[in-house]
Amino acid sequence: MNFITFTEEQLRSFTYSVFKQMGCTDAHANLATDVLIRSDLRGIDSHGVARLSGYVRLWEKQRINATPNIKVVHETPTTATVDGDGGLGLVVAPFAMQIAMQKAKQYGSGWVAVKNSNHFGIAGYHALLAVEQDMIGMSMTNASPLVAPTYANERLLGTNPICYAFPAGQHPPVVVDMATAAAANGKLEIAQRANTAIPDGWVQDANGQQSTNPNELKNGGSLLPLGSDKAHGSHKGYGLGATVDILSAVLSGANYGPWVPPFVAFLEPPTDPVGEGIGHFLGAMRVDGFRPITDFKNHLDNWIERFKGAATVDPDQKVIIPGEPEHAFEQARKLEGIPLIDVVVHDLNELAAKLGIAKLH
């Protein structure tokens, strides 16, 4: 496996061209590009440009609308439901987050449920929009069913990520951005490529037995919720995944549970949908709705310093503040560029050929 490093600008320009070829407006192409590139910058390689050809395949199958009319279909002063009109989640979710932030600016908090959307990239991107305004940001989304609830032998939930982001003072924001499964699909793919076993507790096979084979998902198996089994709290991971599903889809009017349309274009969506597209849930709260922002930031800095300075089992492995590794990646990759593995570069160049745009190199 070889890496080829590109500058942020090279990847931005390429990604923008792809979205333009799909027919996106300039504003949408720029926004969708920003979401994907920020994922690569932050070291979350599974959610960045590596997914570009997946979005294009969904668009080719007319399951993504490149020119959506995104609109609010229901609202109160601090709540709203947005219809994404089948658009890229990469543009629908930031639209919804802007509404949440406007409401928060006026009333203290704002909460937006979204239906009829698609994959929204990294949850952290959207929550961090609020942090820039000294707000607490929250974002979550449901996703294609891959996870079996505790006791189930069926995939009923997605890896349904949830993110909370908090503005700090001297330190980078605290960003808790996590799938509610024990391990997300990307980790299985790494083991598949390396042909190695995975830990017990990540997947079960088609018979519902725990397995260390990273290929079980392809053979009818399921991912397991955070907690892995009942004794270790998998009912909690299942409960969190359920919370994300209900807030994102039962509340908005999107598809939920096993009805969520698959991200991969080669699988068809269920023929008996219970809602429209996939769903998100986004929120923002003004910190100064609770206490002065400087007090909050000073105390969050103190919290961060106490946790970073904690005694550890291995003196060389400090406690990690949520969001700190991603911030470090972002600082480094802005200077040093973004490494892509050769199979991703190959895939992107095939995409370029298909769409008639300049190759990456």
Near a copy of itself in 223-252, by CB under 8 A = 226-228, 231-233, 235-240, 242-243, 245-247, 250-252
Select from 84, 83, 88 the least CA-distant residue to 58.
88
Considering the complex, what minimum distance in angstroms separates the CB of residue 65 from a copy of itself? Answer: 22
Q: What are phi and psi of 118, to 5 degrees?
A: -135, 180
Cα distances (Å, whole numbers) of residue 227 to 122, 144, 234, 236, 247: 22, 20, 4, 7, 21
Binders in 265-324 for a copy of itself, by CB under 8 A = 274-275, 285-287, 289-291, 295-296, 299-300, 302-303, 306-307, 310-314, 317-320, 322
Shortest reach from residue 280's CB to a copy of itself, in Å: 12
Contact between 79 and a copy of itself per CB under 8 A: yes
User: Which range, of 33-41, 44-52, 147-155, 346-354, touches a copy of itself by CB under 8 A?
Assistant: 147-155
Q: Which residues pair with 71 in a beta bridge?
A: 83
Count of residues interacting with a copy of itself (CB under 8 A) = 87
Q: Which residues pair with 138 in a beta bridge?
A: 164, 283
Residue 71 in the binding site for a copy of itself (CB under 8 A): no
CB burial readout 313-345, b (16+ within 10 A) else e? eeeeeeeebbbbebbebbeebeeebbebeeebb
Nearer to a copy of itself, 54 or 275 (CB): 275
Q: How is residue 30 written in tokens?
A: 């720029």
Nearest to 158 by CA among 208, 124, 123: 123
Binding-residue pattern over the window 14 to 33 for a copy of itself, x denoting contact by CB under 8 A? --------------------
Which CB sits closer to a copy of itself, 57 or 105?
105
Minimum gap (Å) between residue 216 Cβ and a copy of itself: 14
For residue 44, the minimal CB distance to a copy of itself (Å) is 14
CA distances from 64 to 82, 83, 154 (A): 16, 14, 27
Residue 95 binds a copy of itself (CB under 8 A)? no
Q: Find the shortest distance in angstroms from Cβ 205 to a copy of itself.
A: 10
Q: Which residue, 195, 194, 132, 187, is CA-closest to 165?
A: 132
| Closest CA relative to residue 141, chosen from 165, 129, 124, 166 | 124
Binding mask 185-224 for a copy of itself (x = CB under 8 A): --------------x-xx-x--xxx---------------
Of 327, 287, 275, the closest CA to residue 304 belongs to: 327
Nearer to a copy of itself, 26 or 305 (CB): 305
Exactly one of 257, 261, 262, 277 binds a copy of itself (CB under 8 A); that residue is 257
Entry field: residues in the chain: 361
* 142 touches a copy of itself (CB under 8 A): no
Q: Residue 124, Cβ neighbours under 10 Å: how many?
A: 28
**Residue 80: CB minimum distance to a copy of itself, A:** 8
Work out how close the CB of 303 gets to a copy of itself at its nearest, in angstroms, rounded to a whole number.
6
User: Is residue 149 near a copy of itself by the rule CB under 8 A?
Assistant: yes
Q: Tokens for 165?
A: 């982001």
- Token pair of 324 as six digits: 């700190």
